[in-house]
Each structure stands twice: as C-alpha cells, then as structure tokens.
Chain A
Amino acid sequence: MPFISEILKYASVSIAGMEKNTGKTETLNYILQRVSKLNHCISVTSIGLDGEQSDQVTHTPKPAIKLYNGMIFTTSEKHYLERQLVSEVLHVSQKQTALGRLITAKVVLEGKITLSGPSETHILQEILDIHATLGAKTSLIDGALSRRSHASPAISKALLLTTGAAFSFDINKLIHQTKYIIQLIDLEQVNTQTKHLLQSIENGIWGIDKNGQLRDLEIKTAFHFEEKKPNLLQYNTLFLAGVLQDKLLNFLRIQDNVKHIELIVNDFTKIFASETVLNAFLQKGGKIKTLYKTKIIALTVNPTSVQGYCLNSALLQQKLKDALQLPVYDVRTLNNNH
C-alpha cells in the first residue's frame, strides 16, 4: 500500500479538491478505513465550516465521514452534537466559529460524523498542535482550495489533490490545469526570517527594503493598487497578504525593474492569476515565492461527474501520471485495488 504508507510518513496531510465532487470524501474515508487497521494514531479536522462550504451555498448535506475507535477529531459544536458515534470530549476551544466552538474528541465507538473546522490558519495550527499532544502521529485535514477560507491547506506538511470529471470533461484541460496547480504548489518558499517577518500580516501590500525592513505601502488590498501605483515601485520585494490577480502581474511585467521584482504570497491557494499571465511575468524574470509551502504526494481522480459523464479512467490515470510524475489513483477503484 504505497499510498497509505506515504501519507503516514507526514505529521499532517491536507486533502484538497480542485472542484466539488472530485472524490475528496471518498479519498478521506478510504484512508481512514485503511489506517484503522494499522497501529497508527491518526486525527482529522476540516478547514472552514465544511471544506468547500457546500451546505452553506447549495444546502446539500455534506457527506459524513466514518471514524474508527481511537481516532482523534475536531469538529464544530453543532456537528459534534449531531455525531453518530460515541466519543470522549477532550478539548473545547475558546474561539467561537459560526457553528459554535471547536470540539476535539476521541472515538470510543466507531460511527459517522460531519467535519467542520477553523477558517483561520493560526487556529488550524493550534488544533494540529492539540492533536499532536493527544498522541496523533498524522493529522488529516479536509482542505479546500477556496479564497473564502483564510486557513490554507498549505500549512500541512503534505498535500493530496483530488480532481476529476467534475472539474473538466476534457482530459487535456484537466491535465493542463492540474499541472498549473502543481506549478504553484512548487513555487519557492521564502527563508525563515522573511516568513517570521510576514506571517502575522493579514492584509495589504507591503514592501521589503534592501535591509530586510518591512515598509507599509499604504495599499489596503491588491484591488486598490491602481490608486497607488508609484508606491509599488519603491521596493523590489513585495508581499501580498491577500490574493494575487492578473491585474497586478500585468502592471509589474511592463516595468523596467521586472527582473528584480520578487512577489511574495501566503501560499499557492492565494494565487488567482491565470496561467498565461503568471508565466509571462516569470518569463520576464519576475519571481514569485510563498510563505508556506507544502509537498504534493499524490493525486486522486474521480472520472465520473454528477451529470453522469464518465472519463476513461485508465487513460486518464496514465496521462496524468506521465504528465505530472506523481502517483495517481482512481477513487472508485481504490478499494478494489488494495
């Protein structure tokens, strides 16, 4: 089982879907079921109200996941009280979320539960620390590639990406887009010193001068940069606490000093720039780095879409493997293969 043993090497692994219905829950359930048979304490939580917030937007119920004896989990008060398993409360967070406080517990008698979790990175980190103190060797995070959530799956040590027909019917497009996301995940990480300097900044665009000092450019968000264009050109190193979009890259690309410009973003999920624009900027010599970096360890695909469309699984897997040089698994056949 190379897939499971690879996961268990890491202290934390995020499972993030490129789109809804790409098989995130199936993947998570598969991992949990396999690990339940091993002697390895695992914990699980989620980012935000529920990964991709489906119940908030479409009101479709979020699928519950099955947890086994001895597993540790964190979910919101609301979902804790709706649990269909016996579990021992071990920690109650002080912070309130939209669904109440965050409850951490240990499964006494296996059953189902809906996961929800913190939407801020530092709280997610706190939860992961609590899991570790309670004995979890690997923490799984039901993640999201969503701009709505501040918490990023990039803080986990490793990442499992799920994709499939729900994201695109076109195998080539699917491969292309996945490749782009992997390019973003692989962006270089800043050094520890710079990370400490920037990690607590919540908004705005900031400059870093030659001496490594932080400079306020008085730009509240990337959307406001056009009003203060000259401020942007004062320093070569820029930090964006929010999202990176085409507009800013297009502006910076045509500047004389583009070769020296280094843009820093929180992590790959904050990049909403299109592939062409981003790569045009990089081609001109500009650099993009991230504060948090994770490692992608595998890809799972769901060849079927909710509309019933089904891609050729074997072909899809082979093409993705060739293009990405990563292990690729079909969620529907995971159980059969192993």
Chain B
Amino acid sequence: MNNNPSLEKTSDHFTIAEMISGKIPFICTTQITDFQYIIENLPLQSTLSKRYLFSQKYMREPQKIENELNNIDFVLRWKQNNVQKAEKINFLLSQFRDIEKTFQNLHNNLILNDIDFFEIKNFAFLTQEIHILCQDIPFFKIANLDKIVILLDPQNTHSQGFYIYDDYSSELAILRKQMRENSQNDTDLITQCIEIEDNIRIKLSQNLQPFAEKLLQNSAQIAYLDILFAKAHQINDLQLCRPQTAVEKTVYQKIFNPLIKNILQSKSKEYQPIDIELENAPILLTGINMGGKTVLLRTLALCQTLYQFGFFVPSRSACIVPKDGLRLSMEDNVNATSGLSSFALEIKRLSSILDEINEGKSLLVLLDEPARSTNPEEGRAIVMAVLKILAEKHVNSCVTTHYDCINIAAKQLRVKGLKDTHNSHSINDLLNNIDYSLTETKEINAPHEALSIAKLLNINKELLSIAEEILSIEK
C-alpha cells in the first residue's frame, strides 16, 4: 500500500460524481458538503438529467467555462421573457424518462419489445413538442424524429399508446379479424399471429436502428436543457451571481455560504457576507475564534469549484481566475485509518501541495490553521515558511492562523471581531456582537480573545481562572 501523498497530484479533471463521491484524496468532506448542498437543491425535472449532470467535468479552459455561463445567462433571460413557455417546458421535461439503455440496445441491433417501442414513441412525441417551444434557444439542437413517429404511429392518431397495429401487416389484420369472429381459441391462429407480430418487431427495430445515435443525442440535449433550466431557477432562489473570468485577481463582493446562510435563516439569524480579494500572493487571515475564518475558506473553495463546473456563484459580484486545481487543507480530511498523526498527515499534504506548485500547476491554495497541532514556536515557523514560499511563487492563496507571524511578505487581513466585549453575556449575544468583515492590518500579534470568548461560552470556571492567572504571571 502506498500512503505517499504525492499520489494526490492527480490532475484536476474529475466529474461532479467523482467530486462528491469522497474518493478524491485532496477534497475534504466540508468541501463536498457545501457543494452537495448546491447540487442536491437543483430542481431537475427529468430523471434522465441527474446522470448527465454528474458526468460534467471540472473545466480549466476559460472559454469552456464562459460558454457554459453564457448559456445559463441566455436561459435565465429567456425564461424571464417567456414565462408561460418556460412553465410548459418544465412540465414536458418532467415527462422524460431515462431510456438510454433502450437507445443503446437499439444501437447494438437488439430487437425491442412493445414497452420499448412505447417509450421511444413517447420520447419522440415529447421531443417534437419541446422542440417547437425552444426554437429560439440557439444551442438547443434537437434532431428531427418525424420518421420515428411515422414508424410507431402508423394510424397517425397521435395516440400515446403502442401495440403491433393491424396496419403493419394485412395478413395480421386478416388473422386478427378471424380471431375476433371465432370465440373459441384457435391455437393455430394464435401461433401464426405471434410469428407475424415478432417479424414486425424485428423489422421495426431494424428501421429504428439508424436513429439510435440521434435519440442518444436528443436525450443528452434534453438533459442539458433541464440542467440549464434548473440552474436558472436556483440562481433566483439562492441569489447567485454570474462570475466574470479574470486574469489576475479574484475579487468577491459580498460572498456568502448558501448552506450556512440557510441554517442561520432557519434560526432567524442573518448571514454577514464578506468582501475579499485574492491576488497572486498569499493572504494571512487572522481573527478571533468563531470569527468566520474557516467558513470564509470553505466559501472561497465552493465558489471556485462552482465556477469551474460552470455554475453561478454565491456572491453579489465575482471575478474569478480559473485554476488548474484547488487545494483546501482543513482538519476534517484527516484519515484516521492511515496510522499517521494529524500533524504528520497535514505536513505531508502541505508538502505535496508545494510539490504541485513547483511542477508549475496553477492552484488556489486555502490552508486553515496549518501546523495547529504542534507547539506554537515551531508551528509559527512552519506557517511563516509556507507563507514565504507561497509569496515567492506568487500563489493565489489564503492562510488562517492564530500564531503571531512577523516580517512576512503577505497581505494581512483580520476579522474585525467583537464589536463590544462587555455587551456580550451569552453565546447568543456573542454571535450578534461579531463583525465578520475583514480589515487590512499590520499588527504582528494575532488577536488574543480566546479567554473572553471561552467565558461567554460558559466553560468550567476553574479552568478559566487558572488560565487567567498563568497569563498574568507570564506578563
């Protein structure tokens, strides 16, 4: 078995399904939770769309991302201008079944049965209907299935049902007529009918076979339309914005985490969105405990992920630099079964990220309290060293810490923190009393408010008083 973290240097070319499977070593569970919240809340109408959505890949080429965002933008505006049509389309989309297997069978020259024919017939009807409604959506390209309809609706009644119609064979029609007139079951007649019916099924399958490719393409187009419709709906629902592709700086105005916003809302609390800019240099983020540093890193990771999968992002405005990959290091992706300590795992992960940077990969690096689990002196040294390397290599990055870091080449941001410590008497007061916004600082000391917060959390009195005593002696 190889536990070497250098294995983690897989190129970022995974699908949404792989992303949320938890099997990609450098993706931590919090990252998945935040992303999954968005994916699972997409109001997809058809059962066939989820599979297509899950097979979408992480994109690195700005052009591809822009193209996807343009399509979403188009559908968003189109829906606003065509409210009634959009409602009809939503209904039609909900009628589509995932019958790709049937199409594959057709493609592979298998003989289909009546249930398959019924489903293909209805698929063809539905695509015809939806095609008429979507003619002015330029990227929605549906292959014409009129010939399928002619094959499966020989009576031209537009009835949704299907059976081997008398119209397929005059011989069959005669036999069936005889059977209707004969009340007694004539086994001979029945056998003859079955044979003719089977031959018709074979012929129908052969005649439909050349359309298999088109059916598969249409299926993909329908799924894509459903995904765009769902994304457009979600954008209004969660108040997402279209990110602009940037070259140098990633800039967010009022970035927020939809999952946490939702949790806070359910407790009638408000989420305070944050403004932040990431340049090609590290940012050192400090601030009190509970000041939202970790949430900010999570949200930055979420936005970058959403952007690169072609989604709008939770922010009032956003300019994002596309990256080869994103590395978020957090306590939660410690693998308890590896036999290594949390420190060892973390430091190996850090090292592998630096290796990737040396290989020339352009990464967004988000490190939550690196080296937190060792002694402050050496921990501080490690943080400063990491920052130095990130600065030298011009890496888009954000590092949080509680260590006092001096003489570093990073821009320092601090969570403004407690508005007024004396006004807080409980944890609820405390939450209402934190200003989560960021301010640039030159202070070398990280905020020392751990004990005041601990007090408000109503922790063991003895512990508090002894800790305070120790601090006063040391001073």
Q: How far is the CB of A175 from chain B (nearest CB, A)?
A: 40
A89 to B190, CA, bound (A): 20
Counting CB contacts under 8 A, is B92 at the interface?
no
State whether A81 and B113 are in contact (beta carbons under 8 Å apart), knowing that A92-B119, A109-B179 are contacts in the complex: yes
Counting CB contacts under 8 A, is B97 at the interface?
yes
Docked-complex contact B161 and A90, CB < 8 angstroms: yes
Counting CB contacts under 8 A, is B163 at the interface?
yes
| Selected contact of A84 from candidates B114, B117, B160, B190, CB within 8 Å | B190
Proximity bits, B167-193, A CB within 8 Å = 1, else 0? 000000000100110000100001001
A188 to B65, CA, bound (A): 63
Docked-complex contact B113 and A92, CB < 8 angstroms: no
A111 to B164, CA, bound (A): 15
Interface size for B (C-beta < 8 A) is 19
State whether A92 and B161 are in contact (beta carbons under 8 Å apart), knowing that A84-B190, A109-B179 are contacts in the complex: no
State whether A80 and B163 are in contact (beta carbons under 8 Å apart), knowing that A109-B176, A109-B180 are contacts in the complex: no
**A108 surroundings in chain B (CB, below 8 A):** 163
- B163 — nearest CB in chain A belongs to which residue? A88
Counting CB contacts under 8 A, is B118 at the interface?
yes
| Selected contact of A94 from candidates B47, B163, B176, CB within 8 Å | B47
Docked-complex contact A86 and B164, CB < 8 angstroms: yes
Q: How far is the CB of B193 from chain A (nearest CB, A)?
A: 8
Counting CB contacts under 8 A, is A77 at the interface?
yes
Counting CB contacts under 8 A, is B211 at the interface?
no
Q: How far is the CB of B367 from chain A (nearest CB, A)?
A: 43
Q: How far is the CB of A108 from chain B (nearest CB, A)?
A: 6
Docked-complex contact B97 and A94, CB < 8 angstroms: yes
A106 to B439, CA, bound (A): 72
A111 to B97, CA, bound (A): 30
Counting CB contacts under 8 A, is B78 at the interface?
no
Counting CB contacts under 8 A, is B162 at the interface?
yes
Proximity bits, A106-127, B CB within 8 Å = 1, else 0? 1011010000000000000000
**A103 surroundings in chain B (CB, below 8 A):** 115
Counting CB contacts under 8 A, is A237 at the interface?
no
Q: How far is the CB of A69 from chain B (nearest CB, A)?
A: 8
A90 to B190, CA, bound (A): 23
Docked-complex contact B118 and A92, CB < 8 angstroms: yes
Proximity bits, B117-155, A CB within 8 Å = 1, else 0? 111000000000000000000000000000000000000
Docked-complex contact B176 and A77, CB < 8 angstroms: no
Most chain B CB atoms below 10 A, which of A81, A86, A92, A103: A86
Q: How far is the CB of A297 from chain B (nearest CB, A)?
A: 30
A106 to B176, CA, bound (A): 16
A296 to B161, CA, bound (A): 35
Counting CB contacts under 8 A, is A317 at the interface?
no
| Selected contact of B115 from candidates A84, A92, A94, A109, CB within 8 Å | A92
**B114 surroundings in chain A (CB, below 8 A):** 89
State which residues 47-79 of B face A: CB under 8 Å: 47
State whether A89 and B176 are in contact (beta carbons under 8 Å apart), knowing that A94-B97, A106-B161 are contacts in the complex: no
Counting CB contacts under 8 A, is A14 at the interface?
no
Q: How far is the CB of A63 from chain B (nearest CB, A)?
A: 16
Counting CB contacts under 8 A, is A87 at the interface?
yes
Q: How far is the CB of B411 from chain A (nearest CB, A)?
A: 53
Q: How far is the CB of A65 from chain B (nearest CB, A)?
A: 15
Determine the main DSSP class of A at the interface with B: strand
Docked-complex contact A90 and B160, CB < 8 angstroms: yes
Most chain A CB atoms below 10 A, which of B118, B176, B180: B118
A86 to B194, CA, bound (A): 10
**B164 surroundings in chain A (CB, below 8 A):** 86
**B162 surroundings in chain A (CB, below 8 A):** 88-89
**B47 surroundings in chain A (CB, below 8 A):** 94
A90 to B159, CA, bound (A): 9
A101 to B97, CA, bound (A): 13
Q: How far is the CB of A324 from chain B (nearest CB, A)?
A: 37
| Selected contact of B161 from candidates A81, A89, A101, A111, CB within 8 Å | A89
State which residues 229-265 of A face B: CB under 8 Å: none
Q: How far is the CB of B376 from chain A (nearest CB, A)?
A: 47
A84 to B189, CA, bound (A): 12
**B118 surroundings in chain A (CB, below 8 A):** 89, 92
State whether A86 and B97 are in contact (beta carbons under 8 Å apart), knowing that A77-B115, A80-B115 are contacts in the complex: no
Most chain A CB atoms below 10 A, which of B97, B114, B164: B114
State which residues 46-75 of A face B: CB under 8 Å: none
Docked-complex contact A88 and B161, CB < 8 angstroms: yes
Q: How far is the CB of A58 from chain B (nearest CB, A)?
A: 27
- B118 — nearest CB in chain A belongs to which residue? A89
A206 to B254, CA, bound (A): 46
Q: How far is the CB of B227 from chain A (nearest CB, A)?
A: 19
Most chain B CB atoms below 10 A, which of A77, A81, A101, A105: A105
Docked-complex contact B97 and A89, CB < 8 angstroms: no
A89 to B113, CA, bound (A): 11
Q: How far is the CB of B119 from chain A (nearest CB, A)?
A: 6
**B119 surroundings in chain A (CB, below 8 A):** 92
Docked-complex contact A89 and B179, CB < 8 angstroms: no
Q: How far is the CB of A50 from chain B (nearest CB, A)?
A: 19
**B97 surroundings in chain A (CB, below 8 A):** 92, 94
A306 to B265, CA, bound (A): 67
19 further A-B pairs in the complex, CB-CB below 8 A; given A81-B113, A87-B163: A77-B115, A80-B115, A86-B163, A86-B176, A86-B193, A88-B163, A89-B114, A89-B115, A89-B118, A89-B163, A90-B160, A90-B161, A92-B97, A92-B115, A92-B118, A105-B161, A109-B179, A111-B185, A111-B190
Would you mind naming 25 contact pairs between A and B with Cβ atoms under 8 Å apart?
A77-B115, A80-B115, A81-B115, A84-B190, A86-B164, A86-B176, A88-B161, A88-B162, A89-B115, A89-B117, A89-B118, A89-B162, A90-B160, A90-B161, A92-B97, A92-B119, A94-B47, A94-B97, A101-B115, A105-B161, A106-B161, A108-B163, A109-B176, A109-B179, A111-B190
Mark B residues whose CB is within 8 Å of A.
47, 97, 113-115, 117-119, 160-164, 176, 179-180, 185, 190, 193
Mark A residues whose CB is within 8 Å of B.
77, 80-81, 84, 86-90, 92, 94, 101, 103, 105-106, 108-109, 111
10 A-B pairs with least C-beta separation: A89-B118, A88-B161, A88-B163, A90-B161, A89-B162, A89-B114, A108-B163, A89-B161, A89-B115, A109-B176
